[in-house]
Amino acid sequence: MTTAAQRQLTACALRGSAYAMENLEPKVQPKLSPMMQQYWDVKAAHEDKIILFRMGDFFEMFHRDAETAAPVLGIALTARNKNSADVTPMCGVPHHSIANSINKLLSAGYKVAICDQIEDPKFAKGLVKRAITRILSPGVVFDPDTLDALNPNYIASTDSKHVSFLDTTTGEAFYFQVKDEARRNRLLASLQAVEIITTSQDKERVEAGLKAVGLQALLTVHEDLGPAFGDWPESARRVLGYATYMQGEKILETLAPFERRELLDRMELPSTVVRHLELFETYKGETNGTLFQAVNRCKTSAGARLFKSWLQFPLSQPEAIERRLDHVERWTKPQELSSGSLKEVRQALGQLGDIQRRLGKLGNPSCNPRDLIALADSLEAGLEVCRLANCEEWNADLVEKARKVLNEIRSTLVDEPPVQLKNGGLIRKGVNAQLDELIDLSTNSHELIMQLEAREKELTGITSLKVRFNNVFGYYIEITNTHKDKVPTDRYDRKQTLANAERYLTKELAELETKVLSAQSKRLELEIAMFTALVASCLKETRSLLGIANSWAEIDVVTALACLAIEQNYVRPQLSLAGNLNLRASRHPVIEQALSLPFVANDVHLAKGGTLLLTGPNMAGKSTLMRQIAVSAILAQTGSFVPAKEAELPVFDRLFTRIGASDFLSEGLSTFMVEMKETAEMLQMATENSLVILDEVGRGTSTYDGMSLAQAILEFLVENKKSMTLFATHYHELTELSTAYPQVVNGHMRIHEEMTSSGPEIRFLHQLAKGPANKSYGIHVGKLAGLPSSVTKRA
């Protein structure tokens, strides 16, 4: 089970609707306060969601919502009106830290609705107006920055022929054409969709399908289809319809067009293989110790996500593989003069940030000025990557657009704008003359008043004339009674008489006052309008920018693979169209990086259709050897160099692994029946172009049955399927198969045995040698593991 899946285990599928049922307003209610009435009105329209209800500086949750959320968020559950009939369980989070809380609720499988104050409480007459401002679900998150940067966040849907995926945080959108329903469900599981959209009619079937593949995603019913573009399948339009319903039409601009991806030209990696080979997660559910962790050298999150998808779907067309390998190889060599060195490109990539998610934010209501600055920084770094990688020419159009957006942001916003819009101060001087005047007015009001005062003094000849301000009259001119006769009554309008002075207003002063007082609010209004226009203008180019961002991600992956090859001494694999496998000095990429001792490299040679039958004592390195071959094949078909001195590899169509009970205890607990079911499926699907790994099959049953089964399976593979097979076993009897089948080659892992004063000792050499092992050294291993000598002697 993957951690993502485990995380989602806490969330039950369909939580939404089940949640709604039990979450209705109590039938008998004491008289509600106006605010609680307001709350229940909102809740009634959003029964299936947890309502975050803004009160002052907090977002509060009430009743069932509070009881549900408090443990998920790890906060205290309290109560309002504790000692009355109207006792209300509640809990709350400060408004500024809401993003993390929302994410916790979403990843626990809940939907969330934000009910915010939509007027300034200072000016509210009576109860503050509140309304739902955003609805969020696992697939439509509040702030993408709080998500795990290495994993996409897919909303998905299936129809009778397709399975479609959409990541609203990066704009990635694609579909596969898959007729087989089980395969569609396997894809949902292997891409770890977080939310599945379906119709009420299909709900039950989809739910059963998800259960079958063990995917615990939130199931959401949404009937409306999004707009039709080209030949997008129904499932694509359904996720689009849902995304627009949740996030508004704007989101359409931040999404790439749905891309049709092919599975025909991909190697199929069943989820069991992904698990057995610990590609993305170890058996303990960790990322440390996985293949991905060991070989990922990407500088950007977008690159890492792309690399992950490359590993999930290795190529199976030789030309496509060679093309990727060519790109990687180019970077392992000194560069031509016109382009940058690998080091320079890597440096520029390091500045790129998560441009896809930064673009995704443009369509998000919470997009703020700093987000645009971050986007500009990304674009600048990306353009530098283009220059260094010499891709300015083949991407000329896109480069031009990126430059345009970059300039627009840089020339409009100040270098370090505030996060919040509400106080202004984000637009550069000189961009808009009207704004500059408003800024002048609001910041220089004192000076303008002083100027007016000086002018009036001169015109009237009254040196003691003063312009003053109070809350009742605003600005006024005050003249002491001594100078009363000099007042120009045609222009001066008397407003108030005091004991020793009179207060006046002039038309000019009234105009200046309106200007000054409204300048601040006008300035804010204008700044917000200009910011919104800037976002809109960037949004218009989002699709192009997503295109170029993908090229940058690709350059990241390719240069990362080049770095890996140089750093770890990997070699470019040669693809064997004849289907032969020849590895010289092959290593396991993960174990060799983890070991403090040197890893023992091995040579492996197998002709097309060949079987390597591995025997040897426990701990000798059989499983490691088989896994390193499988992992090398995956790496090669991903376009990576492989850990060996020389590598010739067939292009495999599928990979199968069957790991016996011993190696994985968690799996050992599953029944023998499951093992046999999976084996049966494998025997059915394997072809002569497949690689099959069987590690101690049959262990889960009695020796005799186990051995007969293992033999039958092996014979079937050799005779009928002709797949390339790696087979590790403790049943020495099986080594005789090599006499009946010339394609079966015996091999064993060498050990060194010597007599010591305390009896024979063995040392593992981890070296592959020809022929079967002649003894089982299990007893010695038992001794090494510390079994009492009375036990080992008896054995």
Ligand X SMILES: Nc1ncnc2c1ncn2[C@@H]1O[C@H](COP(=O)(O)OP(=O)(O)OP(=O)(O)O)[C@@H](O)[C@H]1O
For ligand X, the binding residues (CB under 6 A) are 591, 595, 599-600, 616, 618-624, 662-663, 749, 766
What's the closest the beta carbon of residue 665 comes to ligand X, in angstroms? 12
* 138 or 616: CB nearest ligand X: 616
Return the residue nearest Mg ion (CB atom): 623
User: Distance between CA atoms of 236 and 162, rounded to whole angstroms?
Assistant: 8
* 105 or 614: CB nearest Mg ion: 614
* 359 or 625: CB nearest Mg ion: 625
| Nearest of 641, 640, 604 to residue 625 by alpha carbon | 604
* SS3 sequence of 105-143: HHHCCCEEEEEEECCCHHHCCCCCCEEEEEEEECCECCC
Residue with tokens 């939130």: 218
Tokens of 186: 């396997």
What, of ligand X, Mg ion, none, does residue 591 touch, CB below 5 to 8 Å by kind? ligand X
Q: How far is CA 57 from CA 41, 52, 53, in A?
A: 22, 12, 11
* 66 or 620: CB nearest Mg ion: 620
* 680 or 785: CB nearest ligand X: 785
User: Distance between CA atoms of 795 and 790, rounded to whole angstroms?
Assistant: 9
What, of Mg ion, ligand X, none, does residue 723 touch, CB below 5 to 8 Å by kind? none
Given a contact cutoff of 8 angstroms between Cβ atoms, the answer to whether 155 and 242 are in contact is yes
What's the closest the beta carbon of residue 743 comes to Mg ion, in angstroms? 23
What, of ligand X, Mg ion, none, does residue 48 touch, CB below 5 to 8 Å by kind? none
What's the closest the beta carbon of residue 595 comes to ligand X, in angstroms? 6
What's the closest the beta carbon of residue 104 comes to ligand X, in angstroms? 37
DSSP calls for 398-453:
HHHHHHHHHHHHHHHB-SS--S-STT---BPTTS-HHHHHHHHHHHSHHHHHHHHH
Q: How many residues does the chain have?
A: 795
* 371 or 592: CB nearest ligand X: 592
* 171 or 617: CB nearest ligand X: 617
Return the residue nearest ligand X (CB atom): 621
SS3 477: strand
What's the closest the beta carbon of residue 704 comes to ligand X, in angstroms? 20
What's the closest the beta carbon of residue 272 comes to Mg ion, in angstroms? 16
User: Distance between CA atoms of 181 and 178, rounded to whole angstroms?
Assistant: 7
What, of Mg ion, ligand X, none, does residue 309 touch, CB below 5 to 8 Å by kind? none
Tokens of 473: 């009259």
For residue 507, count CB atoms less than 10 angstroms from its CB and return exposed for 0-12, middle for 13-18, buried for 19 or more. Answer: exposed
What, of ligand X, Mg ion, none, does residue 599 touch, CB below 5 to 8 Å by kind? ligand X
User: Distance between CA atoms of 173 and 196, rounded to whole angstroms?
Assistant: 14
* 558 or 601: CB nearest ligand X: 601
What, of ligand X, Mg ion, none, does residue 218 touch, CB below 5 to 8 Å by kind? none
* 145 or 663: CB nearest ligand X: 663
What's the closest the beta carbon of residue 289 comes to ligand X, in angstroms? 11
What, of Mg ion, ligand X, none, does residue 619 touch, CB below 5 to 8 Å by kind? ligand X
What's the closest the beta carbon of residue 617 comes to Mg ion, in angstroms? 10
What, of ligand X, Mg ion, none, does residue 621 touch, CB below 5 to 8 Å by kind? ligand X
Residue with tokens 């030309």: 319
Give, for 307, the enclosing helix (H) or strand (E). helix 301-312
Q: What are phi and psi of 105, to 5 degrees?
A: -65, -40
Contacts to Mg ion by CB under 5 A: 623
What, of Mg ion, ligand X, none, does residue 654 touch, CB below 5 to 8 Å by kind? none
Amino acid at 333: K
Q: How far is CA 252 from CA 141, 143, 264, in A?
A: 16, 18, 29
What's the closest the beta carbon of residue 618 comes to ligand X, in angstroms? 3
User: Distance between CA atoms of 294 and 296, rounded to whole angstroms?
Assistant: 6
Kindly give, in sequence order, each residue whose CB lies less than 8 Å from that of residue 131, ignoring residues fewer than 6 positions away. 42, 115, 116, 118
What, of Mg ion, ligand X, none, does residue 311 touch, CB below 5 to 8 Å by kind? none
* 171 or 660: CB nearest ligand X: 660
What's the closest the beta carbon of residue 563 comes to ligand X, in angstroms? 24
Q: Identify any residues that bridge with 770 across adjacent strands, giving them in sequence order.
A: 747
| Nearest of 12, 2, 555 to residue 284 by alpha carbon | 2
